[in-house]
Every structure is written in C-alpha cells, then in structure tokens.
Amino acid sequence: MRREEGPLTASGPRLTADLVVLGLGNPLAGDDGIGVALAEALAEAGPAAGAQVRVAGSDPLALLEELLAGRRVLLLDACRFGGRPGETTWLRLDDPTWPLAAAPLSLHGLDLPAVFELARALRLPLERAWLYGVEPAEIREGRGLSPAMRDAWPQLVDGAHRAVRRLTDERAPTEGAPAPTAGGVAAIRGA
C-alpha cells in the first residue's frame, strides 16, 4: 500500500541491501538540500539492484550506523570544495586528511567532520564509504534550489545514478567512478 500523502523518501531493500545511498542536508536551507533532492530523484526512479536509497536529512550518524551494520555507503551532499556551483566531487572517505570536528558534539548541530572523527575513533571501515558532493551556490533559509543547481540538475542526477551503478554493478568503486568535475580533499580543506 503506497503512501497517499507526502513524498516517497526511500526505496530499495531495507536491512539487506549491500549499498545504502544516504541523501544528507536540509531542504529548508536552499542548496544544502541538494543531497536530499538527489536521493529523492534516485528513489523515484528506482535504485539499482542491491542498493537502498534513503533520505537521512540532518542525521549524518546514519553513515556510522550503516558501516557498523556491514554495509557500504554512498553519501549525497552539498560540499564546499572550491568548485563552481553545480560542480561535483567524488571521494572515498578514508582519506586521513579530512578536517576534524571543531566543536563539541550536539545532536542538533552534528556535522560531517564530527561524524568522520567519530568513525575514525570507532575504527570503522571508511574505505567502504564514498561522497558524491555538489558545490552549492546558496546556503540560505528557505526551500528550493538555486538557478545554478536547477541548470545542472540533469547532469547531477545522471552523475548520482552513475555513482550508484558503479558501486553496485562492479564492486570495484575506485575504478571508473564518476569523474568529479572539480575538487578533491585538498580542495575541500582549502575551501
């Protein structure tokens, strides 16, 4: 029985999927919602076999939960890496130069660097997690993506699909991953 109201926000086999795609961000904060928008687009289209797509919103702890459950994770998120708005980056998350958390942990303000630091402390296999990041144009109060995101939307959705296919089809994610249009860890650190 399909939900009659509200968006379909997740699809694919739960609990058993090998790959979990997590859409992160806040749709009420402009382009910060790009990860959620992409996850919803993937869910509506139907994810690849073996993948579950989920809107995690502002709960990046979901990354740790899924790694603990032995699953691989693909994060979709807005990411400032010094590119032009709408450009993308593709990273495996076991890079030891990721920035660390700067502030005490708060459940209302948990950011990805804090989660990465926690993952390292727990010795979780971050080599099983990837980020498909999109350079945002506007992080502001209010719904809706910026014109730059809307212009790049077909390419962004296509890139997200390719990222999922790469991780589910060949299980060789470091080979032939969707080419980032810019960035990398060094760029993120410098942004």
Partner 1 sequence: MGKTSSIAVHHVTRVEGHGNIVIDLQDGRLTRCDLEIVESPRFFEVLLKDRPYQEAPRITCRICGICSVGHATASVQAVESALGVKPGPRTHILRRLNMCGEWLQSHILHAYFLVAPDAFGAPSVIPLAGEKPEVVARALRLKRLANEICYTVGGRHVMPISYLTGGMSYWPGAAELEALRAALEAARPDLDATVELFAGLTWPQAERDTEGLIALDDDGGYPMMGGPLHSSTGKTFAPRAYRDALHEYLVEHSASKHVRGQEGTVRVGALSRFNLAYERLHPRAQSAAIRLGLAPGLKNPFLYTAAQVVEAVHAFEEAVALTGLLLDDPTPEGRAPVTHPRGGEGVGICEVPRGTLVHHYDIGADGRIIRANCIIPTGQNLASVEEDLRAFVPGIVDRSEGEIAHFAEMLVRAYDPCISCSVHVVDVRFTGRAKAGETVRSKT
Which residues are at the interface with partner 1 (CB under 8 A)?
1-7, 9-10, 14-15, 54-59, 61-62, 64-66, 68-69, 101, 104-108, 114, 117-118, 121-123
What is the rounded CA–CA span in Å between residue 167 and residue 163? 6
Q: Please, what is the minimum distance in Å from the beta carbon of residue 118 to partner 1? A: 5
Please, which residue, 15 or 179, has the CB nearer to partner 1?
Answer: 15
Q: Are strands 72-78 and 129-134 parallel, antiparallel or unpaired?
A: parallel
DSSP conformational letter for 137: S
Q: Which is nearer to partner 1, 54 or 128 (CB)?
A: 54
For the chain, first and last CA: distance in Å? 46
Residue closer to partner 1 by CB (options 114, 145) is: 114
Q: Give min distance, CB of 55 to partner 1, in A.
A: 7
Would you say 128 or 166 has its CB closer to partner 1?
A: 128
CA 65 – CA 170 distance, rounded (Å):
24
| Residue with token string 């687009």 | 41
Smallest gap from Cβ 65 to partner 1, in A, equals 4
DSSP annotation of 141: S
Can you tell me which residue has the tokens 């459940």?
107
Alpha helices in 31-138 (DSSP H): 34-45, 61-68, 112-121
Min dist. Cβ of residue 17 to partner 1 (A): 12
The CB-of-2 to partner 1 minimum distance in angstroms stands at 7
DSSP characters over 7-34: ---EES-TTT-SEEEEEES-TTBGGGGH
State the minimum distance, in angstroms, from the CB of residue 58 to partner 1. 6
Of 49 and 68, nearer to partner 1 (C-beta) is 68
User: In the numeric block, which tokens belong to residue 57?
Assistant: 């919103």
Q: Judged by CB, which is closer to partner 1: 23, or 133?
A: 23
| Residue 170 structure tokens | 């060949």
